[in-house]
Amino acid sequence: MARLELRNITRRFGDFVAVDDVSLTIESGEFFTLLGPSGCGKTTILRMIAGFDLPDAGQVLLDGRDLADTPPEKRSIHTVFQNFALFPHMTVAQNVAFPLKMARRPEAEIRGMLGDALEQVHLADKANAYPSELSGGQKQRVALARSLVNRPHLLLLDEPLGSLDAKLREEMQVELINLQRDVGITFVFVTHAQVEALALSHRIAVMDSGRVVQVDEPARLYSSPRNRFVADFIGNINQLNAQVTESSHGHLRLAVAGLGEIIAPPRQGVSVGEYGVYAIRPEQVRIGVHDEVSELKNHFDGVVQSLLFQGDVSVYKVALANGAMVEALLPNSASGRAQLFEVGDRVKLGWRHDAGMFLNE
Amino acid sequence: MSEQRKLSRSVRLTKWLVSSPPFLFLLLFFVAPSAIMVLASFRYPGEFGGLAPLTASDPNILQGLTLETYRFFFSEFIYSYVFLKSFIVALVTTLICLVMAYPVALLIARSPKKSRDLMVLLVILPFASNFLIRVYSWMIILGPQAAFSKMVNGVLGALGIVPVHLLFSPFAVLVGMVYVHLPFMVLPLYTNLEKHDPTLLDAAQDLGANAWQRFWRVTFPLSLPGIYSGAALVFIPVLGMFAIPDILGGTGDMLIGNLIKEQFLSTRDWPFGSTLSIMLTIAVLLIVWLAARLGGRRHYA
């Protein structure tokens, strides 16, 4: 259990600034995720927390103690590597017992802790197997057991689910959540997969080009992205170029060229005349031909351009009068109420006045 | 069904065509000479070298097959002694090569990719000049008038120790053996170390292993296959080597290689030379078999 603090961390590689003045506080027992596209600096941050790399400026503090002079082997921080990095010449038991041996724990204690750790990841029957005899999911669990066996203060996970297939990845996500809750150790998770981040984390830091753009809980990150990058990176979102024509406490009035007016929820720091985008999630867009869509404050005519049937939902791409494409999501379970459309159908799109948001960044 | 049979027949034919040239080569140049050697070891030596005839009309001439050479080999202690000495020289050479080659191989393997090729080239550069010339050059380096000898004896003299002859000594033989065979240890070790996944060392460090533990617990055990092949590439040729002891060892220092060479070139006892060769081959095969058993116990590729 430990509180990790990054204070104004900067790391440069030549002219390239990999991490640019990042400050984060990760609370004890938290499942915290660094999310961003590849090359955004998230792995560099992880390596600096683990001690494999040192910041050019700034501090890494664990429970208030500066780690600058503590080498990786002396930090009570363990990493689960992307390729698991299991020792191929050691059995599962030898792999998991490795950190205990390094810490020179007494043999009896090692046996007990090893048994518990293998039990926890359901691998007691694989103790004498070699890593090459294990499946991807089993390797993953060995790597987790090895990193958790001597109760580190902090566990770092570097895209550990990246090499697993989709179904296994989902299973491991559930296991990770349960494991983290059981052991109560602070997890710092690095990924570029937003679905994974949303499903696992207590809080997420979205990174772009070495900077932290937004730190929030998954739901807030999804509903209130701070700028266009976050909105675009987390889930799908429709974007329409818009200009503010009226800003009041109750709402924003936006003008969209060639389309008309949109009523949007209010936003602080927005002034009349400003350009930006109006962004709305596909599941907030209603699609239909009836008046119920026309009754909404925002509604427009369009033509269905494409239709993607995905089983649980259908995704419609609709071209509006100004040529902009808007995606609308229609749950197929609601087929009794909703109507299925074909490509080329004239439809009405609409959404509530308090849906979506205006983004000027 | 018949289609399948036709296909499998053509597959078998291809397999045959591909594998038969090396197979024939080995048959002709390895199996046949070995068989000749085995046969020769059971015959009597000819009067003026070579072999005595298998059958001759004159009953006074030695003829037929005999176990005499094997009896002779085991009855004279000197031959077992030479074998033992050769094994010790080969073993010590292998160990020295290993200790000297490991840091070199590690250094190359951990260098940036760009400089690795150049470093490997430097390791094999000595092969560009003739083996005998390189060994002869050690005669000059170790000779009594060389700066190296004078320096060593100067130090020994200052300590009140009698001056030593570096050349024509077991020491000179060892130096020559190590010098010639060092690249054969460096290359397989480097090939192995270069393939190691560097994240394994990160993981070991992350889990609390210091530099020493990372080497002994991760790098070293993973390099064992490289050590085995390097050891085989050094140990086996050193065991049969005769040129280096001939040139640098002087007259007193005889190893199996010299013994065998002598049987064919000076003593002219071909059957005994064959027997010695066979004993050496058996010894080497025994070692290879042992090494394969040791290496075969590993579960990872």
Residue B23 lies in a domain: no
Residue from the list B199, B207, B221 with its beta carbon closest to the beta carbon of A98: B207
Work out the number of other CB atoms within 10 angstroms of the CB of residue B285.
10
B→A contacts (Cβ < 8 Å), by residue, are 197, 199-200, 202-210, 213, 217-218, 221-222, 298-301
Distance CA A126, CA A138 (A): 9
Residue B208 is nearest to which of A83, A87, A102, comparing CB atoms?
A: A102
Instruction: For residue B75, give the amino acid letter.
Output: S
Our CA dihedral for B237, B238, B240, B241, rounded to 10 degrees, sits at: 110
Range from A16-30, A84-98, B90-104, B144-158 carrying the lowest mean pLDDT = B144-158
Calpha distance A20→A10 (Å, rounded): 5
- Check if CATH label 3.40.50.300 holds for domain A4-231: yes
Q: What is the pLDDT along chain A (361 residues), one digit of tens a residue?
A: 589 999 999 999 999 999 999 999 999 999 999 999 988 999 999 999 999 999 999 999 999 899 999 999 999 999 999 899 999 999 999 999 999 999 999 999 999 999 999 998 889 999 999 999 999 889 999 999 999 998 999 999 998 888 788 888 888 888 889 889 888 899 999 999 888 899 899 999 999 999 999 999 999 999 888 888 999 898 889 998 888 888 887 888 888 888 888 888 888 778 888 888 999 999 898 887 766 777 788 888 888 998 888 878 888 899 988 888 899 988 877 555 455 788 888 888 888 888 888 888 7
Q: What token pair was written down for A342?
A: 């074909």
- Residue B301's pLDDT band (cuts 50, 70, 90): very low
Nearest-Cα residue of chain B relative to residue A89: B300
- How many alpha carbons lie under 13 Å from residue B256 in its C-beta half-sphere? 27
For residue B286, being part of any structural domain is answered with no
Question: What phi and psi values does residue A161 have, to the nearest 5 degrees?
Answer: -100, 0
Q: What is the ipTM of this complex?
A: 0.82
Asked if B208 and A83 come within 8 Å (Cβ–Cβ), the reply is no
The number of C-beta contacts closer than 8 angstroms across A and B is: 65
Residue B37 domain flag: no
> How confident is the model over B168-186, as pLDDT tens digits?
888 899 999 999 999 999 9
Which amino acid belongs to residue A160?
A: P
Q: Enumerate residues 6+ apart whose C-beta is below 8 A from A217.
A: A202, A203, A204
CATH code, B156: 1.10.3720.10
Is there a contact between A81 and B199 if contact means CB atoms under 8 Å apart?
A: yes
The domain of B212 spans 76-268
Contact residues, chain B, for A133 at CB < 8 Å: 299
Contact assessment for residue A318 and residue A338, using Cβ atoms and an 8 Å cutoff? no
Please answer yes or no on whether A89 and B298 come within 8 Å at the CB atom.
yes
User: What's the distance, CA A341 to chain centroid?
Assistant: 33
Within a domain: B11: no
Q: Has residue B253 been placed in a domain?
A: yes
Interchain pair A52, B217: CB under 8 A: no
Do the first three CATH levels of A4-231 and A236-359 match, i.e. the same topology?
A: no
Among B209, B217, B298, whose Cβ lies nearest the Cβ of A73? B209
Give the helix, strand, coil percentages of chain B, each rounded to 5.
75, 0, 20
B205, A72: Cβ pair inside 8 Å?
yes
Instruction: Please answer whether residues B271 and B51 qualify as being in contact, where contact means their C-beta atoms are separated by less than 8 angstroms.
Output: yes
Residues B41 and B116: their CA atoms lie apart, in Å, by 48
Give residue B297's pLDDT. Answer: 57
Predicted confidence at residue B296, as pLDDT, reads: 63
Query: In Å, how far from its chain's centre is CA B173?
Result: 14
CATH code matching the domain that covers A236-359, chosen among 2.40.50.100, 3.40.1160.10, 3.10.50.40, 2.130.10.10: 2.40.50.100
- Is B9 among the domain residues? no
Residue B13: CA count within 13 A, CB half-sphere: 6
Cβ distance of A146 and B204 shorter than 8 Å: no
Dump pLDDT digits (tens) for B12-49: 888 888 888 889 999 999 899 999 999 989 988 887 77
User: How far apart, in whole angstroms, are the C-alpha atoms of residue B4 and residue B12?
Assistant: 12
Interface test with B, best of A43, A46, A70, A73 (most B CBs within 10 A): A73
Q: How far is B199 from chain A (nearest CA, A)?
A: 6
CA B13/CA B7 separation, integer angstroms: 10
Alpha-carbon distance A97 to A145, whole Å? 9
Q: What average pLDDT does range B57-70 have in this prediction? A: 80
Chain A hits for B208, Cβ within 8 Å = 73-74, 99, 102-103, 150
Distance CA(A119)–CA(A113), nearest Å, equals 10
Q: Is residue B201 part of a domain?
A: yes
CA dist., res. B255 & res. A117, Å (int) = 57
Residue B235 lies in a domain: yes
Cβ atoms of residues B230 and B188 within 8 Å:
yes
The tokens for A116 are 């518990």
Cα B4–Cα B9–Cα B10 angle in degrees, nearest 5: 100
CA distance linking residue A202 with residue A218, whole number of Å: 7
Cβ of B199 within 8 Å of Cβ of A88? The answer is no
Count of domains forming chain B: 1
Question: Tokens standing for B118?
Answer: 């150049």
CB within 8 Å of B134: residues ≥ 6 apart? B126, B179, B180
Taken as a whole, chain B contains a residue count of 301
Beta strands in A166-293 (DSSP E): 186-191, 203-208, 211-216, 238-247, 252-256, 260-264, 275-280, 286-288
Among A70, A92, A102, A128, the strongest candidate for a mutation testing the B interface, having the largest count of B CBs within 10 A, is A102
Q: Are B124 and B183 in contact (CB under 8 A)?
A: yes
Residues in chain B closer than 8 A to A50 (CB atoms)? 206
Residue B300, pLDDT > 70, answer no
Between B131-142 and B147-158, two packed helices, what is the crossing angle to 10 degrees? 40
Going edge to edge, which strands form the sheet with A238-247?
Answer: A260-264, A252-256, A238-247, A275-280, A357-359
Sign of CA dihedral A65, A67, A72, A74: negative
* Domain boundaries, given as residue ranges, for chain A: 4-231, 236-359
